Structure formats: structure tokens, C-alpha cells
Amino acid sequence: MNYPHPLIAREGWPFIAGSLVVALLVSAAGAWSLPFWLIFIFCVQFFRDPARVVAGGPKSIVAPADGRIVVVEETDDPYLNRRALKISVFMNVFNVHSNRAPVECSVLQKWYNPGSFLNAALDKASVENERCALHLRTTDGRDVTCVQIAGLVARRILNYVDAGAKLQPGQRYGFIRFGSRVDLYLPLDSKAKVVIGEKVYASSTILAELA
């Protein structure tokens, strides 16, 4: 189990504290405070960061985020210029938004691209939306590209690793605020273990197995 952070993600502390203060002030003033308490409750649930068991073995690719599978296909990896197996996880505003390493690996390169804020469930979000990509290399030399993508509501991608970092499977490396997506580009001979529409959970769901 990999869980180095509190139950409530630190990225949410300012939002939770701010919404709580506003709700308390409105309540103390005797005004109708229900909407403000609902905002506070939403912030608490959005920034929750529960502990997760890391599934699989050394060749397992685990889910980098909670959400729903929206893509499983062979396509071009625009970062490493190769054909790859692409698996995409779409996160709505009710999913946990911590992003976790899909495999034991080293970070070789990091790319940030500004862009639009289209619905992250759309295919074109992969190339048009704001995104941050990592080139990961496994301990046995396989290349994986992991891409955080901002969505329609998401306006902030947080990524805490740079080239040279070492990651364990399930290790927390980033966060995306308020609805988003993560794309994985895997070696073409990887075997997918999920299907479109399936719900997955960060670290606990195996997305694919490397050959």
C-alpha cells in the first residue's frame, strides 16, 4: 500500500478552509447558508485521497487515476513518435483526483503544453487541451507515456516530478483540479485488461500487462 499523504489531499486544504469559513460566517449572519455548506461538502469529497492497495506485479500497469475507461486502442504516441496501445481514464468531478504512477519506473522527460479546456472525455482533448506528459521507463527498459489532461472545468494540472525522479507503482505524483483525464501510451505488445466504460481505481485496478 502506497499512501504518503493525508486522507484529504493537501491541494484541497485552502479550498476546504475557505469554504468552511464562508459557510460559518453566512450561518452566523442568519442568512440562508445551505448553498455554502453544499460547496464545503463538495470540496471535502473532491479532495479526498483514500489509501489504496497497489495491485499486480512488476509487469502490471495500474490505473493512474480513478474514473472510467474512455479509450482502448492502437494509435500514435505523439510524444515518443511510435505506435502504441492507448488507454485513457476520464475523471468526473466526483472521482478522486490524485494521480499515481502506473508502474515502477524512472522519469526520463517531462513536457508541458498549454491548450484548451474541452470536455476531457472527447478524443481531441488528448491533443488540444492543456496537458503535462511524462516519459517513463520501467526497470526492464519498456517505455510508457503518462499524460495528465485538463478538462472542461479543470484549470490546474499539478505535477510534482521531473526528469531523474524514481517512482514506485501507486506513488502519488500529481493532482488535477475539478474534472480531467489521464492518457497512457504503452508498448504495442502490451495486453489490455480493461474495456471501454469500465470503472477503475487508482493503483488498485490493473489496466494492462507488459509483455
CATH number at residue 183: 2.70.70.10
Q: Are 175 and 132 in contact (CB under 8 A)?
A: no
Total domains in the chain come to: 2
Do 68 and 143 fall within a single domain? yes
Burial of 209 (0-12, 13-18, 19+ CB in 10 A): middle
Is residue 190 among the annotated active site residues?
no
pLDDT tens readout for residues 168-192: 999 999 988 766 889 999 999 999 9
Please indicate, yes or no, if residue 54 is contained in any of the structural domains: no
% of the chain exceeding 90 in pLDDT: 64
> Which entry of 88, 180, 190, 203 is annotated as an active-site residue?
180
Cα gap 42→16, rounded to integer Å? 9
Q: What is the pLDDT of residue 124?
A: 58
Do 115 and 75 fall within a single domain? yes
Do 41 and 143 fall within a single domain? no
Q: What is the model's pTM?
A: 0.84
Domain with 134 in it: 60-209
Lowest mean pLDDT among 22-31, 70-79, 136-145, 161-170: 22-31
Torsion angles phi and psi, residue 34, rounded to 5: -55, -45
Cα gap 41→94, rounded to integer Å? 12
Please indicate, yes or no, if residue 51 is contained in any of the structural domains: no
